[in-house]
Amino acid sequence: MKFETLAAQGFIDLKKQNHAVSTPIYANTAYSFDSVEYAINLFDLKIEGDIYSRLSNPSNDMIEKRVAALEGGIGALATSSGQSAVLITILNIAQAGDEIVTSDKIYGGTYNLFSKTFKQMGITFRFINSDNLEDYEKAINEKTKCIYTETIGNPRIKIADIEGLAKIAHKHGIPLVVDNTVATPYLCRPFEFGADIVVHSTTKYLSGHGNAMGGMIVDSGNFDWNQNDKFKMFTTPDESYHGIIYAKEFQNAAFIAKARAHLIRDLGCCQSPFNAYLTQLGIETLHVRMERHSQNALELARHLEKHPHINYVIYPYLENNPDYALAKKYLKNGASSLIGFGVDGDGTKFIEALKLFIHATNLGDVRSIITYPAGTTHRQLSDEQKEKAGITNDFMRASVGLENIDDIKEDIDNAIEISRS
Ligand SMILES: Cc1ncc(COP(=O)(O)O)c(C=O)c1O
């Protein structure tokens, strides 16, 4: 099946779901066992089936299968949020004493998780402040367990060189983990460029309507956990699960098997079936929405480029963007909804004059959303720190929605005029 068909119809088993055309919400906690033998086989992970909804649920299973297929992966695990998808992914491969190499231009929530919470747990992140692949390689040592990046970095809209990073990671026997939230598999499939694991905040474009928190971890099935002795969590017995050796039992499907059997079981950050249902509805229109998000954002970017009171525009598909070549290589069907620009006027007046753009901290909603990082998310930083993070006082980050493009442009133009009065 092609992408659009998988998104709209993939994995629906009409007989299994009482001929309901849309997979229902299985608001259900536990599942009955036909026999003791059946229960034993389930608990020993010998057969597939549901035990308890912290571990799996048919509503979650539907979106796990669809996102795995859309990404070109072999398995996926739905989590309660994007944050918990990142948390479980890192804990699945790293423990106290280990290190991870990443960019300093990643989403602020992930940056905090890496620099504070994981630091307290003894996992060290090396943040690279450069686009130079050699700087990533120099930061790798024998304790490094993966390279972590974002396809389209949030909020500065930087494009990662996935293929280059994957080559470096594999040279050192470690996987490349990519947060593909802002691109979605419709614009970029990181596995095709050598990435090993993909994570998503499904809260954004995959659910798409700003109404369901969720996350997803997808495994390409390509990374060999046995190739060196770095990944003992996969190659030695898990005493908390009858001494199972994940890489032996599940071979190339070990990543999701361990994340589910060990980490979702222990941490409990599973996705609610209601949110999985809302996300299923979103996935069904993903390709149509991403096309229009990208079309509207590019048209707004071109409009703002010519505006006399706009200081700069950041959009990867603009020819003068420093990441234009990377964007053309990695983003095949468009460059998504995120656009950054500097307003030559009063930032607060600009934000408050907008009528159509909603002032909020989210992205990937059908509605246009504007965020003023210097006045909100990065307010606590000094001017110098903001400058370093690329968050100047004039910087606006917008997620361009699916409204009529003329209304979108008019709203921004009016607000610029008011910001200068
Ligand atoms: C790129 C990226 N990754 C992860 C997250 C975290 O996702 P969630 O808010 O669903 O926990 C976000 C949230 O904005 C994000 O933009």
190 preceded by cis ω (within 30°)?
Answer: no
For residue 67 the two structure tokens come to 């996102």
Distance 222 CA to ligand 1 centre (A): 25
201 lines ligand 1 (CB under 6 A): yes
Quick one: CA dihedral 227, 230, 235, 241, positive or negative?
A: negative
Q: Which residue has the tokens 């370093």?
A: 388
| Helix residue ranges per DSSP H, 107-183 | 108-112, 118-120, 133-138, 162-171
Residue 341: predicted pLDDT = 97
Residue 381: predicted pLDDT = 72
Residue 387: predicted pLDDT = 74
375 lines ligand 1 (CB under 6 A): no
| Helix residue ranges per DSSP H, 208-322 | 232-235, 246-250, 254-258, 265-267, 273-284, 286-305
Which stretch of DSSP H or E encloses residue 37? helix 36-43
For residue 401 the two structure tokens come to 């929605």
82 lines ligand 1 (CB under 6 A): yes
Residue 288: predicted pLDDT = 98
205 lines ligand 1 (CB under 6 A): no
Distance 85 CA to ligand 1 centre (A): 9
Distance 350 CA to ligand 1 centre (A): 26
103 lines ligand 1 (CB under 6 A): no
Q: Residue whose CA is closest, atom 6 of ligand 1? A: 82
Rounded to whole angstroms, the Cα distance separating 88 from 97 reads 17
Rounded to whole angstroms, the Cα distance separating 68 from 64 reads 6
Please give the distance of CA 360 from its chain centroid, rounded to a whole number: 19
Q: Going residue by residue through the chain (421 aa), what tens digit of pLDDT does each one get?
A: 999 999 999 999 999 999 999 999 999 999 999 999 999 999 988 999 999 999 999 999 999 999 999 999 999 999 999 999 999 999 999 999 999 999 988 998 999 999 999 999 999 999 999 899 999 999 999 999 999 999 999 888 999 999 999 999 999 999 999 999 999 999 999 999 999 999 999 999 999 999 999 999 999 999 999 999 999 999 999 999 889 999 999 999 999 999 999 999 999 999 999 999 999 999 999 999 999 999 999 999 999 999 999 999 999 999 999 999 999 999 999 999 999 999 999 999 999 999 999 999 999 999 999 999 888 877 777 777 777 777 888 999 999 999 999 999 999 999 999 999 9
Domain boundaries, the chain: 3-282, 287-419
* Alpha carbon distance, N-terminus to C-terminus of the chain: 55
Q: Which residue has the tokens 């008011």?
A: 418
Which of 84, 113, 181, 363 best tests ligand 1's pocket when mutated (most atoms within 8 Å of CB)? 181
Contact 400, 300 (CB under 8 A): yes
Residue 378: predicted pLDDT = 77
Closest ligand 1 atom to residue 213 Cα is 10
Distance 199 CA to ligand 1 centre (A): 10
For residue 305 the two structure tokens come to 């480029």
Angle between helices 405-419 and 286-305 (to 10 degrees): 40
CATH number of 3-282: 3.40.640.10
Residue 330: predicted pLDDT = 98
- In this structure, which topology does domain 287-419 adopt according to CATH? Aspartate Aminotransferase, domain 1 (3.90.1150)
Residue 82: predicted pLDDT = 98
Residue 383: predicted pLDDT = 79
